[in-house]
Structure 1
Amino acid sequence: MTHPVPPSTDTGAPAPPASRDGEDRSARIAVTLFPAIIIVAFLIGFLFPAQTAPLAQYTSVALGIIMFAMGITLTLPDFALVAKRPLPVLLGVVAQYVIMPSIAVALVFVFQLPAELAIGVILVGCAPGGTSSNVITYLAKGDVALSVTMTSVSTLLAPIFTPLLTLWLAGTLLPVDAGAMAMSIVQMVLIPIVAGLLVRWLLRSWVARVLPALPWVSVLGISYVVVAVVSGSADSIVEAGLLVLLVVVLHNAFGYMLGYVAARLFRYPERVARTTAVEVGMQNSGLAATLAAAHFSPVAALPAAVFSVWHNISGGLLALFFRARSARQEKAAAQQPTVQS
């Protein structure tokens, strides 16, 4: 999912209000309907596996389109934030690649998951930040600019960290070809993002007109991946669906909590803590599912497919919780008596 309020245009000037409002409104509608659309996609793949199984051969193309759309939404100020506020960005990216893989390994151990499901859970944990985290951060009244930068940096680092962490943490479960996985990530993630950045730079006026449609590109792309992945693991859903759902819910919840706690331990303000919580808890499950299906098996892709459904539901609930907290704090501040000098 592309971010809702671009902090600036390519020149560093504020984005036109009409463009901002259109993209903002489109992103909010998309993220509100996203869980329902993903659930429908999940059911289509589950109920009609034979008819939807051929879609699996094009999941890498769908993911590339999602990443291309993400690249189009990015601007130079998104990356300039790394130089202006390096420590919060560093905390978010390090937490992303430390907390979620660690939780994944712990859950695999506690629930004694079979090898294919275990490597799928670990792969979700080793994925970069989710593309819908930016919209959820906005709805949660977090720091959107920081969220965009964290997602962008963790995604650009994915060709290095995702295969290496998967090899290190899951190499004893199944053979892991880290080199082939890294090349897949370069082809499906890095190249499309760079292409999107170039298109944004070369065709600025055209891009401004299509920005409101880009959240829907992500929605449809991830829905396609979910249909394809679920169609290949329908039997496993019947056998282990509830167990996978429990593991996914715990993985996601601990990610939110530990991401928030990590930011607070470093004495960052509430908005940064909310942003870090969302960034850590929400994963690029589309990437994890595509990699699992391509390099392991459809069963290994099941945790990522379930995660794709769940983390968008939980993200919306988390945003509601944070917004309610902000409303209570604002009300309490308004009721405090004014101290006269």
Structure 2
Amino acid sequence: MQKVKAFGDWLTKWFTLIVIVWAVFNYFVPQTSLWGKSCTGYFLGIVLFGMGLTLSLDDFRRILTQPLMVIVGTVAHFVIMPLVAVLLCWIFRLDGPLAVGVILVGCCPSGTSSNVMSYLSRGDVALDVSIGILSTLCAPFMIPLLMQLLASQYVDVPAGSLFLNAVKVVLLPVGLGLVCHMIFGKNIEKVTVALPIVSQVAILLIIGVVVAANGPKLFVASSLVAVPVVMLHNLCGYGLGFGFSRLMYKVYPKGFRYAQQKAITFEVGMQDSALGATLALSSFASNPLAAVPSTFFSVWHNISGSILSSWWRNHDDRHAIHWDSDNGEKGSAAAQPGAPAKAHASDLAA
């Protein structure tokens, strides 16, 4: 098990680079992944089944014990990212499948990568996970609704298909994983060690399929415009998520402290791009280009999230900011000698 965990840690550390190499490989050798075009829903189901295996009733109790922060964070996610996507489509004059793909990834729930980034930045991991759970459970209802409202001007949005596919690849696997956890209890821990590896391999397979299916269209002008759009979409999510959480601190300082502000920043800015790509391939099968923004997002948000979490950690150390300070006050670590600035973020999840 130690070797499995060590390999999982290595894969997580180098995942962004591996994604880039894998995408390039599939661009030049598309036959590698084209076989999986009809299986992307199953690949994502594996990822979300693994998520369900890690859940327990305590996770849902935690949502009930801090409902305001979780609900507000989830609402912020489903308001900010879709509207920013629509604005960017208008600014860059995107149209057709590419615009649909940008809006679709904006309507997706928060990505599991945000949990890692929140952890690395010493954010509130428990809040991050709670918002991720709630936004994922809301996804089958929110995605069709938002897509119908925001993307129907570009193509006919198959709201029914989006709902059914989202239920099939989100709610059923998560629910099945949760049931398995309840039945087998602590024995599940023997399996969960390998879940990061399984999840990341499944995400790589999805990315490989999208790149292979769109290879000839990826590096033409009409597709490359999605790169700056995706980058701005993600960065605006970080900025607006952080600004929103700082504003909420003025309203409810007890709940939206510095660690919670970090968690909401990552939860708003990072998307479940694998879900976006899967839904694009299944519900917009005649327009596979709609999956391209999700693929670009998957690569970029891991890069930007790693940079931001590293910067945040170094910034806090440099200015002696305690991880559990009220609002990121400089020198707050010195005022709390019993709880050093470099306390591990996992302490927050306890």
TM-score, length basis structure 1: 0.88
For residues 337 and 178 of structure 1, the distance between their equivalents in structure 2, rounded to whole angstroms, comes to: 54
CA-CA distance at 1:41 after TM superposition? 2.2
Match for residue 65 of structure 1 among 46, 50, 73:
46
Q: Which residue of 2 aligns with 1:125?
A: 106
Distance 1:222 1:319, change over 3 A: same
What is the deviation of 1:79? 1.4
Q: Residue 100 of structure 1 aligns with which residue?
A: 81
Structure 2, unaligned stretches of length 5 or more?
Answer: 250-255, 322-329, 337-350
* Equivalent residue number for residue 151 of structure 1: 132
SS of equivalent residue, structure 2 residue 123: coil
2:215 is equivalent to residue 242 of structure 1:
no
Confirm whether residue 310 of structure 1 aligns to residue 300 of structure 2.
Answer: yes
Question: 1:163-184 deviations in whole A, cap 9, x for unaligned?
Answer: 1101110011101111111110
CA distance in structure 2 between the partners assigned to 1:303 and 1:324 by the alignment: 31
Picking from 248, 272, 277, the partner of 2:265 is: 277
**In 1, Cα distance between the equivalents of 2:116 and 2:91?**
33
Q: How far apart are 1:112 and its partner, in Å? A: 0.5
Q: Does the CA-based 8 Å contact 2:165-2:283 persist in structure 1?
A: no
Alignment of 1:66-215 (within 5 A): 66-215=47-196
Q: Give the whole-Å Cα distance in 1 for the aligned partners of 2:177 and 2:333.
A: 48
1:265 deviation in Å?
Answer: 0.1
RMSD: 2.1
Residues 320 and 334 in structure 2, CA contact (< 8 A), matched pair in contact too: no
CA distance in 1, matches of 2:155, 2:276: 16
- Amino acid corresponding to residue 324 of structure 1 in structure 2: N
Name 2:283's counterpart in structure 1. 295
Q: Which residue of 2 aligns with 1:265?
A: 247
Distance 2:53 2:33 in 1: 29
One-letter code of the match for 2:331? A
| 1:71 shift after superposition | 0.6
Question: Out of 267, 270, 274, which is 1:286 matched to?
Answer: 274
* Contact 1:27–1:135 under 8 Å retained in 2: no
Distance in 1 (alpha carbons) for counterparts of 2:65 and 2:47: 28
Query: Once the 2 structures are TM-superposed, how far is the Cα of residue 122 of structure 1 from its aligned partner?
Result: 0.1
Distance in 1 between the 2:58 and 2:113 partners?
A: 20
Three-state SS of the structure 2 residue aligned to 1:113 is: coil
- TM-superposed CA distance for 1:333, in Å, is 2.9
1:277-327 Cα offsets, whole Å, 9 max, x none, are: 100111000110011111212101000011111111111111101111221
Match of 2:331 in 1: 333
C-alpha distance in 1, partners of 2:335/2:78?
A: 45
Q: How many percent of aligned residue pairs carry the same amino acid?
A: 39
C-alpha distance 182-334 of structure 1, shift in aligned 2 (>3 A): closer
After superposition, give the CA deviation of every residue in 1:33-67 in whole Å (9 maximum; x if it has no partner).
11012112211221112442221111010000000
Structure-2 separation of matches of 1:238 and 1:322:
34
Query: What is the identity, as a one-letter code, of the residue corresponding to 1:250?
Result: L
- Structure 1 distance, partners of 2:22, 2:157, is 29
Aligned to 1:141, the other structure's residue is in SS state coil
Q: Deviation per CA, 1:203-256, whole angstroms, max 9, x where unpaired?
A: 123211122211111111110000001111112211035321111110000001
Moved more, 208-217 or 100-109: 208-217
Q: Distance in 1 between matches of 2:192 and 2:165?
A: 27
Q: Per-residue displacement from partner, 1:130-181 (whole Å, max 9, x unpaired)? A: 0221111111111111111100000000010011101110011101111111
30-39 vs 190-199, which moves further: 30-39
Q: Which residue of 2 aligns with 1:253?
A: 235
Kept in 1, the 8 Å contact 2:70–2:127? The answer is: yes
How many positions carry a matched residue from both structures? 318
Q: Is contact 1:26–1:213 with CA below 8 Å preserved after alignment?
A: no
Question: Aligned to 1:66, what secondary structure does the other structure show?
Answer: helix
* Alignment of structure 1 residues 316-327 onto 2, 5 Å: 316-327=306-317
Unaligned 5+ runs, structure 1: 1-17
Contact conserved, 2:54 with 2:192, CA < 8 A, in 1? yes
TM-score, normalization by structure 2:
0.86
Judge which range, 75-84 or 259-268, deviates more.
Answer: 75-84
For residue 16 of structure 2, what is the aligned residue in structure 1?
A: 35
Paired residues of 1:45 and 1:229 also in contact (CA < 8 A): no
> 1: distance between equivalents of 2:335 and 2:14?
42
Alpha-carbon distance between aligned partners in 1 of 2:333 and 2:278, rounded to the nearest angstrom:
52
Inter-partner Cα distance in structure 2 for 1:60 and 1:77: 28
Are the counterparts in 2 of residues 131 and 151 from structure 1 also a CA contact under 8 Å?
A: yes
